[in-house]
Amino acid sequence: MNILQINSRQRGENAPSTRIAHAVVARLRAEQPRAQAARVSLDDALIGEIQWADVLVLGVPMCNFGVPAQLKNWIDAVVRAGVTFRYTERGPQGLLKGKQAVVAQASGGRHRDSPADTITPHLKTALAFVGIDAVQFVDPEGLAMGLDGEKNGRGGARAQIAQGIVV
């Protein structure tokens, strides 16, 4: 199993979204000992990297109620007509087959199931558009809401990962 980890962090290796994404990858590798993992930068081979991967693990910090600009650039680079999707008489068809995604989505506040969470529908829609329908979310919330908020947010995400990421 090939795992592609994409970090769109603002605060380096210690950023919660990056650390949760690392933990998801570690868990996936423990469950699938033969899995390879690659941490990649955004570059010209972005589509090739996705085509190589079986599982995409995206570290996504909420930034002004959306995904960070770096991740939006990545989406704009990989959603390419004729390569990752095509238009048919019945509408668009995703061309990336048999892949799954895990999104480690960190936010300072709590927005789950509210209109402020634009990230979940955006990523589900964009990933489904290129053919990736199987998307799981590990989303520590409230990380800026004092020590309890941070503890609960991280603890919930760790518990979710410990229960297992089924891919």
On whether the CB atoms of residues 167 and 29 are closer than 8 A, the answer is: no
Task: Look up residue 73 and give its two tokens.
Answer: 């650039």
Interface with ligand FMN (CB under 6 A), residue from 3, 4, 106, 123: 106
- How many whole angstroms from its chain centre is CA 161? 14
On whether the CB atoms of residues 153 and 142 are closer than 8 A, the answer is: yes
Residue 38 pairs with which residues in a beta bridge? 4
Rg (CA), the chain: 16
* Contacts with ligand FMN, 42-61, as mask; x by CB under 6 A: -------------------x
Asked whether position 145 contacts ligand FMN by CB under 6 A, the answer is no
Task: Look up residue 163 and give its two tokens.
Answer: 């229960």
Between residue 3 and residue 42, which ones bind ligand FMN under the rule CB under 6 A? Answer: 9-11, 15-18
* Contacts with ligand FMN, 63-92, as mask; x by CB under 6 A: xxx---------------------------
Q: Could you list the residues that contact ligand FMN (CB under 6 A)? A: 9-11, 15-18, 61-65, 106-109, 111, 143-144
